[in-house]
Amino acid sequence: MATPCKKCGAEKTEAVGHAIMYSIAKMFGYRLRICSRCHRYRLLSRHDEHHHTENSEPQSALPGACPRCGKKDYRRSRRNMWERVVRRGPMVRCRACRHRFPQPRPTTF
């Protein structure tokens, strides 16, 4: 849960557009949000979001599943500029553990 806003005391925040300020905050390990009540910019730590260990082994190696947690529940993720330049294929993000990986190719039998 977010800490209360220093100006108005509200805890609820809203999303901010992904512009240069957002990128700088992300580079330093923070999330840039806006206070719902007074619309003041707020920096929230990203370290609270990660509840998994980076070196954990996948639970299953099923084709088309997340390589980290083994679940098949994922969504399409936007490619960043570098991935477009090197013409990387579509990327997906797991809804359970938020790990980002290349979209699995459909298997044919």
The domain segmentation of the chain, as residue ranges, is 1-48, 50-104
Q: What is the pLDDT of residues 33-92, one digit of tens each?
A: 999 999 999 988 876 555 544 555 544 456 788 999 989 999 999 988 988 899 888 999
pLDDT at 32: 92
- Is residue 93 within 8 A of residue 99, CB to CB? The reply is yes
pLDDT at 91: 92
Helices (H), 28-98: 81-85
For 2-16, write each residue's pLDDT tens digit: 688 888 888 889 999
The answer to whether 73 touches 96, Cβ cutoff 8 Å, is: yes
Residue 30 buriedness (CB in 10 A; 0-12 / 13-18 / 19+): middle
Q: Report pTM.
A: 0.44
